[in-house]
Amino acid sequence: MSNGQGPADTAGSSEARAWTQKLLRFREPSRLRSIVELVITFGPLAALWALIWLSYSFGYWWITLLLAVPAAGFLVRLFMIQHDCGHGAFFRHRLANDWTGRALGVLTLTPYDFWRRTHAIHHASAGNLERRGIGDIDTLTVQEYLESSRWKRFSYRMVRNPFILFVIAPLFLFLIWQRIPNRKANLRERLSVYWTNLALLVIAGGLIWAFGWKAYLLIQLIVLMVAGTTGVWLFYVQHQFEDVYWERGENWDYATAALKGSSFYKLPKVLQWITGNIGFHHIHHLSPRIPNYKLQRCYEENGVFQQVTVVTLWDALWALSLKLWDEDQGKLVGWAHLKRLRQATASN
């Protein structure tokens, strides 16, 4: 993992904020390019679904399983387009963004208006220790963990277990959590959940009528599991690395959090494309109105963005061992750190 000095290190948050102004020229979406992005994402996904149904119908299970992987990849890419719509970045006009996002939300099992609010809170509070709990990965400090009850420590260990985090949690999130509106949701957000659920029932009913419930559940669950795991993994590695940024409320700064609290997840080109360039997460958090297809050029034309923390595929695996935020050291640590801490306390 490479952790260079970004603008937040060299000249403070004021210069970092100035960068948001310099990025204005990248924020103008291209209507033609956005339509092309939709076509080259939805088209292959629809074709893969058709091939999946055909392979299943003729009994070629191994082909069905193989095709589920690229189908999940294109579903992830479709979610990234919905994500851009939520930021008002994919089209110039709000209505175009909102209705495209709502339509895509049916395919991604994500009620658009409901999700957009929680995601906005994530952008406004990422890295703020005083505003954890909405749209982020549950993270405790070392001190908080040590002062917690035995039950809370057990629960936290369960939540941070990779199997729970990347297999069970995505299924729970997309199949159950996003089907129920939050108590604090406004009318628009509640309607977003209800209409998305209704559309899902209609589509599911049609597919079950055409192909049978066993085929529908099997294929849907496989694709959803791969896509959901990928999505949660991407979110995890972009905010869970050793030298990530966390600060208490009075010291927290938006621009610094964007540049030091979000990684550059350096992926092979094919994975970078299928994930909608979301690996340029530091740029996205600094200026979320930049369309995903302009993030690469923004990165190349501004050398300062090449000096932030770089996370590779291998680094991302290492990040699985990080569990708690150590406020004294200013970094994420693993369970082994607790053991050493207890041994040091006992020896004193």
Structural domain boundaries enclosing 153: 7-347
Q: What is the pLDDT of residues 36-77, one digit of tens each?
A: 999 999 999 999 998 998 888 888 888 888 999 999 999 999
Let me know if 347 is exposed, middle or buried by CB neighbors in 10 A (0-12, 13-18, 19+): exposed
Within the chain, what is the greatest distance between any pair of CA atoms?
Answer: 70
Per-residue pLDDT of 128-170, as tens digits, reads 999 887 778 899 999 999 999 999 999 999 999 999 999 999 9
- Report the alpha-carbon distance of residue 172 to residue 320 in Å, rounded: 20
Q: How many CB atoms lie within 10 A of CB 22?
A: 12
Model confidence, pTM:
0.89
C-alpha 156/C-alpha 140 separation (Å) is 8
Q: How far is residue 55's CA from residue 36's CA, in Å, rounded to a whole number?
A: 28
Quote the CA–CA distance of 180 and 183 in Å, as a whole number.
Answer: 9
Q: Is residue 56 part of a domain?
A: yes
Q: For residue 230, what pLDDT is reported?
A: 94
pLDDT at 17 over 70: no
pLDDT, residue 7, reads: 42
Judge whether 196 and 111 are in contact, CB under 8 Å.
yes
The whole-chain average pLDDT of the chain stands at 89
State both tokens at 341. Answer: 């801490």
Residues 223-260: pLDDT tens digits? Answer: 999 999 999 999 999 999 888 999 987 888 888 888 88
Q: Which residue has the higher pLDDT, 135 or 298?
A: 298
Residue 95 pLDDT exceeds 90: yes
Q: What is the mean pLDDT of residues 282-306?
A: 91
Q: Does residue 29 belong to any structural domain of this protein? A: yes
CA dihedral sign, ordered 192, 194, 200, 206: negative
Q: How far apart are the first and last CA of the chain?
A: 34
DSSP state of 305: G
* Spacing of C-alpha 177 from chain mean position: 16
pLDDT(117) > 70: yes
User: Using CA atoms in the order 33, 38, 44, 47, what is the torsion angle rounded to 10 degrees?
Assistant: -140
| Residue 149, domain member (yes or no) | yes
Q: Please give the residue that has the higher pLDDT: either 22 or 239.
A: 239
Q: How many domains does the chain have?
A: 1
Q: What is the mean pLDDT of residues 100-104?
A: 97
Q: Is there a domain that residue 1 lies in?
A: no
- What is the phi-psi region of residue 309: left when phi exceeds 0, alpha when psi lies from -120 to 50, beta otherwise? beta
DSSP run (H or E) holding 332: strand 331-333
pLDDT of res. 41: 97
Tell me the per-residue pLDDT of 255-279, one tens digit each, with 9 for 90 and over: 888 888 998 999 999 999 999 999 9
2 in any annotated domain: no
